[in-house]
A and B are shown apart, each in its own frame.
Chain A
């Protein structure tokens, strides 16, 4: 948990102070901002965390800020807080990836659960982000032929089929396959398929020569 920061954005000073106080008491590190602008003016330091965001803010609203963060590829999970729940806004917020949409007055426990969820999501995002980077760098180590074999393997082709497709012998396929497994640092075909899934999800190139 250490190192994570909860960013509280609320124009209402009483609310802002109370939220910060609650989160600090629960052991979180908190930074408060009175408007979307103030938040954006603070340079992101890349630390893990989440945003506790009031939907209605003077000037740009919470939803505006959510959009801006996405555009700036700042993927901090957002928990929305609002004094008046209107369905349209909550749907928009959730579609745009908000972790939760809480209505004030919010029960401290509910709030903490939402913050924890957001932080966990941030962690797992960061973790999967690291995975992707690992797999990507490993993938980069594959030779052209190995990469072709990798692509065929992860879509479930048999060695013989791969050999026919690539015009190489089944034996050669087996050799490349072992090389791929070693380079990708996986122990089973299942792991290899998982790595391929992750890479695909972040849009890694399917094949160097495809």
Chain B
């Protein structure tokens, strides 16, 4: 379980994002998950206490991505229905090492709950690293399950 003073760096196809520790997330290894080989957008399930939580695979632009070689997923546990995200890289960062500035994407929000990002970490010489709004990300991932 994450400390809410931490951030989790989530690498997706070479692009890094951050999840705030306040999101209440858990990192699960592949061997602790039930792999879904049906070829759909859900690539694995976490089964705990009789409840199943889906894990989705997306690319750097958050589009569904089919892949079989992955090792870990991060599960957002803030809601009654946890949801997972397959990540290429996961790294916990201490809050003191990260300086988050407020950021609001322009244009219409990606979901009915709002924008996917609510902050960014800007370091000299690097592209800003966007910070997910965990609740919105969870809704976005769940919406991937619905047919367009």
Q: Do A and B come from one complex?
A: no
Instruction: Please report B residues at the A interface, Cβ cutoff 8 Å.
Output: none
